[in-house]
Amino acid sequence: MVPLSWYLILSAILFTIGAVGVFLKRNVITIFMCIELMLNAVNLTLVAFSSFYKQVYGQLFVFIVMTVAAAEAGVGLALVISVFRNRETLDVDKSNILKL
């Protein structure tokens, strides 16, 4: 049986890579993908705890996190399309004022 701490450490590694990606990248779509990566790392923690404690509620929470991630991806990519149409760039440094 794989110990719980292994899953937690894998989740910590994935979360850290996602956070570093958000710092490092300029392309707004890649930043979105790094946010998805961090959400998945948290999902892994929730599923691991749920499975080890034999309680289903962590997995219900994962269900809701996935829905929120889908909503976020939809609205965020619509924003990306809207900004790209007006500015012709995906660089977050070039669209740093809240104005289209």
Binding to other proteins (CB under 8 A): which residues in 35-74? 36-37, 40, 43-44, 47-48, 50-57, 59-60, 62-64, 66-74
> Between residues 71 and 96, which has the closer beta carbon with respect to other proteins?
71
**Would you count residue 30 as binding other proteins (CB under 8 A)?**
yes
Total residues at the site for other proteins (CB under 8 A)? Answer: 73
As measured in angstroms, the least distance from the Cβ of 98 to other proteins is 14
Cβ neighbors of 72 (< 8 A, separation 6 or more) are 35
The span from the CA of 11 to the CA of 44, in Å, is 6
> Between residues 46 and 97, which has the closer beta carbon with respect to other proteins?
46
The span from the CA of 24 to the CA of 34, in Å, is 10
CB 43 within 8 A of CB 66: yes
- Helix or strand holding residue 85 (H, E): helix 57-87
Which of 1, 97, 98, 99 is the binder for other proteins (CB under 8 A)? 1
**Would you count residue 79 as binding other proteins (CB under 8 A)?**
yes
